[in-house]
Structure 1
Amino acid sequence: MEPVPFYVAGEPTSSDDVAVVRHPYDGREIGRTSLATPDQVERAVAAAAAVAAEAAATPAHVRAGALDHVARRLTERADEVAHLITAESGKPLKWSRVEAARAASTFRWAAEEARRFSGELQRLDTEPASTGRLALVRRVPKGPVLGITPFNFPLNLVAHKVAPALAVGAPIVVKPAPTTPLTALLLGELLAEATAPGGSLPGGGLPGDGLPAGMFSVLPLPNDRAAALVDDPRLPVVSFTGSGPVGAAIRRSAPDKHVTLELGGNAAAVICSDWAADEELTWAARRIATFGNYQAGQSCIAVQRVFVHEWLFDGFLPRLVEAVTQLCTGDPFDETTDVGPLIDVAAAERVEHWVDEAVRAGATVVTGGRRDGASYLPTVLTGVPADARVRTEEVFGPVLVVESVADEPAAFAAVNDSVYGLQAGVFTHNLKTAFEADRTLRVGGVIIGDVPSYRADQMPYGGMKGSGVGREGLRSAMDDYTEPRVLVLTGIEL
């Protein structure tokens, strides 16, 4: 196979250091790229620093037009994109289609935000000494951004780094996950189309309406070579999505930088006492089964812990087990497959080890609990000890831990008994319970009437405690990448 080029300062390039990408389900080669050399990394970072002022001054219509172009091209190539996501990540095709559509929406929303990212006027004559003064408060880029992305959403999590950066006029250098670089490189191809020095965007636009050359780079690199990028002072903003230990190391190594970390969690769902009708329990069971396993559990907000009011437990558990066993597992390219493999055999072996460890400590496997290569059967556990890793840490696999609780306060305390705090789902109709959950739960988002796995791409998204710092979501990330600048006008009659 011919290696797919990567992008240095918007230009396709390659090296002699070939990297093979394999399909997680059966290990076959599905593509190749090459790893950026130190000289190519230097060119990318130098270009980002050199173009920063020009990028910040780029008119809003240029930035919005480029983002609209990427959204349109992602929509046009949606089937190709979805198949590529499945090929390199093992995500079932039905979910890859969802990711492709979400990424197009993310760029579309970023284009809208770029058009209205205007700042605010403040009258200062609230005090006599400031009569005749007016402040214009705008947000300006802090500088070039380093975006480091994981394997589980190889397109949409890259989009959540790139789209807000371009929307505010900040250059960005992306380091995709080593196991899933090809989708990010396809996105680089579309961004290159929107970079047209002296020309115009395909499909229309004035001459010169493309993004400034050098505004983006996509660099395939092994993880052990990312530290130099994190340390480089020319990249003052670091946006990382991935594991907690790596995120913590980034934060320690870059104390003078603006660092945004999305570090995962062990998301919980709570079935409250008023969610008692048969159809409600069945619906909740199906939602939890689906979103505990939809990417083989490899989502930061996949359901992992389930806390059920004690008088509903015996009615809920069989429904959950039935819903889990009805999920179709197998080849992720099969349109009927609900649950595919984990990213590699080592990941599946880790899940297997953690489940076996919990069973030895007294847990019961109600269904599942078996590994086949990189695949692990969707699993439901009960009676899990409080200190078992499948309960206290992020499994990142298709495992649900189900527990009975006496009441809602006990459930909320159990949710909070975690080093993580990303999102939680609370199944209730009671408005007071909903606000109690919002007040009590130490998480970044509470989803009422559904699973914690719900995310709208424009809303603030992030967590507390070990789940990270900062927020993603288009406008939230745009704020993260910028800082306020104040212009005071004097002698103004209002």
Structure 2
Amino acid sequence: MTETESALPDVRLLIDGQWADGGDRMAVLDKYRLVPAASLHVASREQAREAVEAAHRAYIASSLTPHERGAILERAAALLERETPQLIAALQTEGGFTQTDAQGEIKRCLQTFKLSAEEARRLAGEMIPLDGAPQQKGRIGFTLRVPLGVVCAITPFNAPLNTVAHKVAPAIAAGNAVVLKPSTHTPTTGNIMAACLIEAGLPAGLINVVHGGADVANWLIDEPDVRFFAFTGSTEVGRSIQQRAGLRRTQMELGSIAFTIVDDDANLDAALPKIVAAGFRKAGQVCTSIQMLLVHRKRIGEVETRLAQLVSELRYGDPRDPATLVGPVISVASAERIERWIDDAVSRGARKLAGGPREGAVIPPTLLIDVNSDAQVSCREVFGPVMSLVPFNSLDEAIDRVNATPFGLATGLFTNRLDGAFEAARRLHVGGVHINETSSSRVDLMPYGGSKDSGFGREGPHYAVREMSEERLITLST
């Protein structure tokens, strides 16, 4: 570590209620300025084990009631709101978030914590009508929802606050202990969240934070006391975690090629602003960001003209500039890959309706048309501010195009015909179908997750607390 790096703010580990130095350090970059912004402490194998052991001990010792867990989560939400300036600074520096994206991330995080607090108080089993079976007169049966134990949350860079909240808060609501491993690109918000939980009264050991890359994740997976893995990331990594987890439970929110369909009767005045936001917020680094916009051939000319104008007007660059709507992607390497994919599409015959040259880690918002189906931007997840227009002749053709990919996270459909809307709802092989909204539509209380190579399990506090708990059957004979 250089003298300059040693003067940077430390992002430390949290193990059993104590902040600790890691076995090694690495620099966290400012994603726009491309200079070191923090010094990240990286956990050793022994520290990863200690974090899991501390979580397991805390889980066994915990006597928190559902009411108390709910109260802690509500107090933590208030403390997180107090930390808004620090959270915005971290999101802008480490994640390249614009002011609007950072504020939206914080508001959603607070909502996720408050929803989880509600779920903590009402998590319950159900009565079993045993006396409805032969020879069971006088017998009573019911179930309890009980926690699983230690939950390991492995979280991504693109939503380093709210995605963390969607794993940590429901786990605590259900009565579990948590070991969090945030992305090394965006570690600070996870530490702030953990500090708020401790200040809110969460007992030591019920929240632990370890930092590091694939090695640290693998060490956590090897710990048998971890009973549930909540992962958001690539399909390739998710598949590896699932194989290594064995019989332990997992929740996987994985990759996608996100489609939104614009049918011939769509209200473009309502649809186009939503499409622009869904394609380019967070610099297109959302699994449900519109990558392929399927447009009925009757409307393709109008959509091309209007959308090209809207995208070309988007301000991009420094995320600290309040006028900026599209900031940098997570690294120069990612920006260079996205640039290569755009160039590959153009070399295969695509036309660029909006866009420009890469500037460091910033990719100008890019709109393509006439994209070859073999181009990378067509058949692989871009994860950047790039959208392609693709014409179709019938809704059946559009549905088949979506279903032809190995992914199935979410799809949007703009139409005013109920028969078409219900046809899409029945036939699209995705986790969510949003009528007159985009693929990126999400409310934090809804069940969120995919099918096929986009993973399984559902986020959303009501659903996640059930993923992170299990039913225990109780019977009583009188």
TM-score range, shorter chain: over 0.9
**CA distances 1:337-391 after superposition (whole Å, capped 9, x unpaired):** 1000000100000101111112222222122152111011111111111122211
What is the Cα deviation at residue 36 of structure 1? Answer: 1.9
Deviations 1:396-423 (Å, cap 9, x if unpaired)? 0111111110011111111112111100
Give CA deviations for 1:272-324 in whole Å, capped at 9, x if unaligned.
Answer: 1221xxxx313322221221111111001111101111111111111111111
- The 2-side partners of 1:155 and 1:402 are apart by 32
CA distance in structure 2 between the partners assigned to 1:270 and 1:4 by the alignment = 43
1:371 alignment partner, SS class = coil
Partner of 2:5: none
Does the 8 A contact of 1:145 with 1:237 survive in 2? yes
Is 1:20–1:31's contact at 8 Å kept on the other side of the alignment? yes
Secondary structure of 1:349's aligned partner: helix
Given the two structures, how large is their TM-score scaled by the length of structure 2? Answer: 0.96
2:319 to 332, 344, 347: 332
Deviations 1:10-29 (A, max 9, x none): 22222362332111111123
The residue type equivalent to 2:139 in the other structure is: R
Decide whether the 8 Å contact of 2:49 with 2:219 is kept in 1: no
Deviations 1:240-292 (A, max 9, x none): 100111111111222221121111211111011221xxxx3133222212211
CA apart distance, 1:480: 1.1
5+ unaligned residues in a row in structure 1: which ranges?
Answer: 195-209
Which residue pairs with 1:93 in the alignment? 99
What is residue 441 of structure 1 aligned with on the other side? 428
Between the aligned partners of 1:458 and 1:264, the Cα distance in structure 2 is 21
Give the 3-state SS of the residue equivalent to 2:220 in structure 1: helix
Q: Report the CA distance between 1:82 and its aligned residue.
A: 1.7
Alignment-mate amino acid for residue 460 of structure 1: P
Asked if 1:455 is matched to 2:455, the reply is no
Which of 4, 11, 14 is 1:4 aligned to? Answer: 11
Task: Tell me which of 278, 298, 303 is aligned to 2:285.
Answer: 298
1:383 has 2:370 as partner: yes
Match of 1:70 in 2: 76
Where do residues 9-24 of structure 1 align in structure 2 (5 Å cutoff)?
Answer: 9-15=16-22, 17-24=24-31
> 2:392 maps to what in 1?
405
Match of 1:470 in 2: 457
What SS is found at the alignment partner of 1:377? coil
1:144 paired to 2:144: no
The reply to whether residue 218 of structure 1 matches residue 209 of structure 2 is: yes
Which stretch of the first structure deviates more once superposed, 160-169 or 469-478? 469-478
How many positions carry a matched residue from both structures? 471
Equivalent position amino acid for 1:62 in 2: E
Give the Cα–Cα distance (whole angstroms) in 2 for the partners of residues 326 and 232 of structure 1. 50
- How many angstroms apart in 2 are the aligned matches of 1:100 and 1:398? 22
Deviations 1:117-148 (A, max 9, x none): 02112222112311112211122122211110
Aligned match for 1:318, one of 305, 316, 337: 305
**Which residue in the other structure is 1:161 paired with?**
167
Which of 32, 38, 56 is residue 31 of structure 1 equivalent to? 38
Runs (4+) of structure 1 moved beyond 6 Å? none
* Alignment partners' CA distance in 2, 1:54 and 1:475: 25
Partner-residue secondary structure (3-state), 2:299: helix
In 2, the alpha carbon distance for the partners of 1:118 and 1:211 equals 22
Asked whether the equivalents of residues 78 and 101 of structure 1 are also in contact (C-alpha less than 8 Å), the reply is no
How far apart are the structure 1 equivalents of 2:146 and 2:21?
Answer: 33
1:282 and 1:432 map into 2 onto residues whose CA distance is 22
| Corresponding position: 1:238 with 2:245 | no
**2:244 counterpart letter in structure 1:** S
Amino acid at match of 1:390: V
Q: Indicate the SS of the match to 1:375.
A: coil
**2:38 is paired with a residue of what secondary structure?**
strand
Structure 2 distance, partners of 1:243, 1:347, is 14
Q: Is 1:154–1:180's contact at 8 Å kept on the other side of the alignment?
A: yes
For the Cα contact (< 8 Å) 1:124–1:133, is it kept in 2?
yes
The letter for the 2-side match of 1:420 is F
CA displacement at 1:53 relative to structure 2 = 2.7
Where do 1:473-484 residues align within 5 Å?
473-484=460-471
AA paired with 2:24? D
Percent sequence identity is 39
Q: Which residue of 1 aligns with 2:54?
A: 47
Q: Deviations over 1:43-81 (max 9, x none)?
A: 2111112222333x4211211111011111112222321
Match of 2:238 among 247, 252, 259: 247
Partner of 1:84: 90
| 1:192 maps to which of 198, 205, 209 | 198
Equivalent residue of 2:304, what SS?
helix
CA distance in 1, matches of 2:84, 2:191: 15
| 1:95–1:342 CA distance, 2 compared to 1 (3 A) | same
Query: SS of 2:448's equivalent?
Result: coil
Q: 1:357 aligns with which of 338, 344, 350?
A: 344
TM-score (norm 1): 0.93
CA contact (8 A) 1:147 1:173 kept: yes
In 1, Cα distance between equivalents of 2:246 and 2:135: 39
Whether contact under 8 Å (1:79, 1:97) holds in the other structure is no
CA contact (8 A) 2:124 2:144 kept: yes
Alignment partner of 1:397: what SS? coil
8 Å contact 1:290–1:324 — kept in the other structure? no
Counterparts of 2:202 and 2:76 in 1: how far apart (Å)?
12
In structure 1, give the amino acid aligned to 2:234: S
* Letter paired with 2:199: E
1:327 partner letter: L
Q: Distance in 1 between matches of 2:113 and 2:357?
A: 40
CA contact (8 A) 1:83 1:93 kept: no
The answer as to whether partners of 1:288 and 1:451 remain within 8 angstroms in 2 is yes
1:201 is matched with: none
SS of match in other structure, 1:295: helix
Q: CA deviation at 1:193?
A: 0.9
SS in 2 for 1:27: coil
Aligned residue runs from structure 1 range 96-115, under 5 A: 96-115=102-121
C-alpha change, 1:361 and 1:143, in structure 2 (3 Å) is same
CA RMSD of aligned residues (A): 1.4
Which shows bigger deviation, 41-50 or 392-401? 41-50
